[in-house]
Amino acid sequence: MISDPKLPFAAEPAPVGELQSPAESRVPVIPAPDSVALDSGARRSLVTGSVATGSVSAPASLPHRSAARLWFHRIGVLLFVFLCATLGVMLMILPWRPEWSDNPLLLPYPALRVLIASGFARGLATGLGLLNVWIGFWEAIQYREEE
C-alpha cells in the first residue's frame, strides 16, 4: 500500500485480473494532529487505520515566530489594507467625475465612451469600490497575531 500522510486517501493497487469498485480502491488515511507528537508505532497505526498501539507523548510546543517575521507580516497586512482602502475609495469617487468619461484614451472609441459613461458602468465601478473597501477593513478587523 502506498501511503502519504499529506493525501486524504492512499491508493492501493488492485491485484492483476481483479476489478475493484471505487470504494474498495481507497483506504482512508487519518493525518496526525499537529499539536500531538506521535511515536513511529502510533503514526504507523494511524496511517494503516488499525487500532493505535503506540503511546502518545505530551503536546509539542509551537515554534515561535521571529521578531522580523512578525513585523514583515504586520507591515504586509497594513499595506494590503491601505491598498484596498485607497483603490476602493478611488473606484467609488472616480466614476462620478468628468475625467471618467472625458478621458483622452477613450476619444478614438465613441461606442466604448458611451458605455463607460452609462450609469450601469459607473454603478458597477462604485460597487466594486465598496467591496474593495469592505475587504480591506475586514482584513484589518480579522488580523490576529499568532503567539
User: Average pLDDT, stretch 2-24?
Assistant: 55
Q: Residues 98, 128: one domain? A: yes
Task: State the residue range of the domain holding 103.
Answer: 67-142
C-alpha cell at 42: 502510533
Q: Residues 71, 55: one domain? A: no
First to last CA, the chain: 39
Is residue 2, in this structure, part of any structural domain at all? Answer: no
- Give the whole-angstrom CA distance, residue 25 versus residue 27: 7
Burial environment of residue 132 by CB neighbours within 10 A (0 to 12, 13 to 18, 19 or more)? buried
pTM, 2 dp: 0.51
Q: Residues 47, 78: one domain? A: no
What is the domain count for the chain? 2
Q: Residues 99, 49: one domain? A: no
Say yes or no to pLDDT of 65 above 90.
Answer: no
CB 27 within 8 A of CB 1: yes
- Give the whole-angstrom CA distance, residue 5 versus residue 16: 26
Tens digits of per-residue pLDDT, 95-137? 999 999 888 898 899 999 999 999 999 999 999 999 999 999 9
Counting every residue written for the chain, the total comes to 147
